[in-house]
Structure formats: structure tokens, C-alpha cells
Structure 1
Amino acid sequence: MRRRTGLAMAGVAALAWGEWLNWRWSRTLVKTGGGGPEAVVVLGYRNPRATANLINRWRVRIGIRSIAADGVQETSLIFSGGPTGAGTTEAQLMADYAKSVLGYDGTVLLEDRSTTTWENITNVVPLLEGMDRIKIASQPAHALKARAYLRRQRPDLAERLVRADDYRPGEWIVVKPLLALYGLWTLRRLTTGERKGSP
């Protein structure tokens, strides 16, 4: 009985830890407020098939709900991701999913050359120049990494970063501890200030 209770408590603690870390990451290196034109950048994930995979579909949904969260009218949805094994690009696959499956009919821009997160940010910068608000849509740890890269490459644009709707309590709760572990590994090269949002 004690063993079961101990395992149950450990499981609850792991779920709570995963929730907390993802919540914290979604609120790091972002500001609040601002108006005017907005860009929501959806980062692609390796996609060898001819249709958007599970991760890319999740990221597209994060991007679209990030628009609805504020009700800003002048929003450009930017899909970023280069060639896949299927002969098309991650950006195109995500755009097709947004339009044909989710019925998105707003402004869509494609960045279709990137193969890394650093390249995602480098290549979308020209599309962000006239934007007052910038959101990055991905899993919280990955989005934080991308925000840190924008801060390194273009600190002036990083001042316009606002939170995307990338964290929701209970969403993917069972895998959040694994996402948190993977996030800690992928964020290991960021500085303490970048991980915690300090100057």
C-alpha cells in the first residue's frame, strides 16, 4: 500500500513539475501590451511525410489560438520551416493544414528555407520589421529558445515579443514531464538570464 501511495505521489509531483516548468517558460522573455500589426511565427518540426505531422499540427493550433487570444485584427501568421523528405516544405505543410483543416482565412506568410531554430529566426526577421507585436508559437521550451535567439540577433525586435497561447493547464499533461526534461536539455546552452528572463 505504501509503495502504491509513494508511486502515486511521485506521479503527481512529476505532472505538477512538468506543468510548472512549461508555464514558466511560456512567460519568459515576453512583455505585455502594445497594439498595431502583429506577427505570429509558427516554427516547423521535421516532417518527412506529405502531410503535417502531430507536432506541426499542434504548433499550428497554438499559432491560430494565439491570434484569437487578443483579437488583434492586423495579424500575419508566419509559417517557418524548410524542405521535408516529402518534397515540400514544413512551412507549406503547416499552411495547408491551417487553411484546409482548420479553416484559417487570414494573412499567411511563408519562410521556407530554415532547417534549424536559429535559421528560423534569422530568416523571419525581414517579415517582422514592421510589426508592433511578435509571438512565437511552439512548445514553451522551444518558443523560449527562439525568443532568446531573436534577442541575440535583433534585440530591438525582441522588445516587441509578447506571449503566445502556448501553455494551457492540463494540455498534454501526461507528456509534459517528458517535454520538460527535453526542454531542460535543449535550453542548456542559453544563459541564465535568457532562461529566467533577466537582462
Structure 2
Amino acid sequence: MRSRRMLFRLLRAGAVIYAALAVWAEVAHWRSSKRMLGTKSGTGGSQAVVVLGFRNRGSTANFINRYRVRAGIRSLPRTEDGVLVLSGGSVAGDVAEAVLMETYAREVLGYTGRILLDADSRSTWQNIANCVPLIEHADTIKIVSNSPHAEVAREYLWAQRPDLAGRLVRGDEHRFGEIVPIKIAATLRALLFRWRADVAAHPA
């Protein structure tokens, strides 16, 4: 009886902690999705949607890359003036993330729209630098990943090409209640990234 009570208390505590982390992550992602944007309205004209890849060890797109591709496609306007830019090199596997994402978009989702690839990037900074020639034509630009990562990428575009960053608008990668465990992990990772950046910028 005592062991059952202890198990129940542990489960209840775990549920409370998970719920608190989930709410925290949802709020953090929502706030990130609104930061580092330009002054464009996001309607009309041509659009480029940049989807940032995640390390992929296998020969098919992993869960995170599949989600990002779906979020990228739903971020595109229903016109012929949109281009999906898939960005990511072979960081963790033999095949570039961009290629794996394109295969998923074409063969699994049946996407028939225009796609451009950056299959060389090995960091977020390179993602942005290598995608600049592919998005310069666009009237508005969206960057899709998990929201904290997309915020960092938008920050890098402001640093590299502020003229293009002024065209940044929100993508549709953040929806409440989607991929909550991954949002929690991404928020924790973003905190660690920011902490390391602060330490590097202000060493003791």
C-alpha cells in the first residue's frame, strides 16, 4: 500500500512538472515566433520560406525534419509566387538534410511547388549566408524551424543582410499543442545556447 502511494505521488509530481514545462515552452515558442521580424505585412508579393534542417543520421528525413517541412509548406501562400528553400548539409549522415527534406516533401507529401536547396550548410550562420542568394528576390521572407532556433536565424539575417531582414514575417511553425516534448527540449537547448553566448561575450 505504501509503495503504491509513493508511486502515485511520484506520478502526480511528474505530471505537474511536465505540465509546467509544457506551458513554459509554449509561451517561450510563442514569444520567439514574434521576435526579430521586419516591417512587412506578410501579404502580397513573392514569398520565400526557408526551412532549417536538423541533424539527420538516417537515409530518410527524421521526425523533426518532417515536421519542419510540413510547417514550411503550410507557411507558403497558395500562389505561384512562393518558393520553399530547404537548408542543411550532411552534418550527421551521408546525405544532406536538404536532400532528405526535399525527398519527403515530394515523395511523401506530394508537394509540387518550387523548391530550392542549400545542401552545404553545417551551422545556422551558414544556413543564412548560403540561403541569401536564394531569397534575395522575395518580397517577404519566412524562416521555419522550432521558434527559438528560427529567432536565432532571423537574428543572423539581421546581422548579415539587414536589407533582407526588413522583409521578415512570421512563419507558421508554432501552433499551440503541437510537438510539446520537442518544444520543451528546444527551449532548454535555446537557454543553454544563450547562456554559452553570454559567457563567451563576457568571460569572468
Alpha-carbon distance in structure 1 between the residues aligned to 2:132 and 2:194: 22
Please name the residue that 1:135 is paired with: 142
Alpha-carbon distance in structure 1 between the residues aligned to 2:99 and 2:18: 39
Give the superposition deviation at 1:129.
1.1
Checking the alignment, whether the CA contact within 8 Å between 2:37 and 2:170 is kept in structure 1 is: yes
Please name the residue that 1:33 is paired with: 41
Seen in structure 2, the aligned counterparts of structure 1 residues 175 and 127 have a Cα distance that, compared at 3 Å, is closer
Alignment of 1:1-199 (within 5 A): 8-31=15-38, 32-34=40-42, 35-67=44-76, 70-83=77-90, 86-188=93-195, 189=197
* Unpaired stretches in structure 2, ≥5 consecutive residues: 199-204
Alpha-carbon distance in structure 2 between the residues aligned to 1:77 and 1:113: 16
Name the % identity. Answer: 47
Alpha-carbon distance in structure 1 between the residues aligned to 2:99 and 2:113: 15
Alpha-carbon distance in structure 2 between the residues aligned to 1:40 and 1:146: 13
Checking the alignment, whether the CA contact within 8 Å between 1:38 and 1:72 is kept in structure 2 is: no
* Secondary structure in 2 matching 1:134: strand
Checking the alignment, whether the CA contact within 8 Å between 1:145 and 1:187 is kept in structure 2 is: no
Alpha-carbon distance in structure 2 between the residues aligned to 1:87 and 1:8: 39
Q: TM-score scaled to structure 1, two decimals?
A: 0.85
The CA RMSD measured in Å over matched residues stands at 2.2
Give the superposition deviation at 1:130.
1.0
With 9-18 and 135-144 compared, the bigger mean Cα shift is at 9-18
Which structure has the larger Rg over C-alpha atoms?
A: 2
Aligned length: 188
Checking the alignment, whether the CA contact within 8 Å between 1:38 and 1:132 is kept in structure 2 is: yes
Checking the alignment, whether the CA contact within 8 Å between 1:49 and 1:84 is kept in structure 2 is: no
Q: TM-score scaled to structure 2, two decimals?
A: 0.83
* Unpaired stretches in structure 1, ≥5 consecutive residues: 191-199
Alpha-carbon distance in structure 1 between the residues aligned to 2:191 and 2:94: 32
Please name the residue that 1:197 is paired with: none
With 90-99 and 43-52 compared, the bigger mean Cα shift is at 43-52
Give the superposition deviation at 1:182.
1.1
Alpha-carbon distance in structure 1 between the residues aligned to 2:101 and 2:56: 10
